[in-house]
Amino acid sequence: MVNAIGILNLETQFTPFTSLAGGALIGLSAIVLMLAHGRIAGISGIISRLLPPSIDKMGATQGLTFVMGLLLSTPLWFTFSYQAPVQSVSNNFVLLGFAGLLVGFGSVLGNGCTSGHGVCGVSRASGRSVVATIIFMSTGFLTVFTLRHVVGG
């Protein structure tokens, strides 16, 4: 079901086991980065350090290599599975473009995203990350509530 503003509203399957296992892989990646480089696996940080106006030239090779790993996880996936991961992406490109702006701007301003604050920061018991995680979960929840039950209800 797609509502008037292109918001998909379909049920997805509850997947406790694969989600837990996938989460553990994400955690393993964060451990590798911390042990090898002493760095947080924060994706918004890794990406934004590669961008102007202040490009981190020292860390650029490692940053680009990590991004390459993210992209190459797709061919890796298809060597083990014939099925593509399930994805339903909105076809409202105006909405997606605006969402991208907010995600990029907010993650740099708040110094982290789901991975840096939500996983690594919470694991380090960082007060800032716990607060950030509670805030972005809340505004995310409010946004989806508004889109699905107020505007598009």
CA distance 62 to 73: 16
Q: Which two tokens stand for residue 48?
A: 């934004």
72 near another protein, judged by CB under 8 A: yes
76 near another protein, judged by CB under 8 A: yes
3 near another protein, judged by CB under 8 A: no
How would you class 49 by CB atoms within 10 Å of its CB: exposed for 0-12, middle for 13-18, buried for 19 or more? Answer: middle
124 near another protein, judged by CB under 8 A: yes
145 near another protein, judged by CB under 8 A: yes
95 near another protein, judged by CB under 8 A: yes
| Footprint on residues 103-122 left by another protein (CB under 8 A) | 103-115, 117-122
Cα dihedral 43, 101, 141, 89 sign? negative
- Chosen residue from 25, 57, 82, 151 binding another protein by CB under 8 A: 25
Q: Which is nearer to another protein, 4 or 11 (CB)?
A: 11
Q: Which of 21, 20, 40 is nearest to 30 (CA)?
A: 40
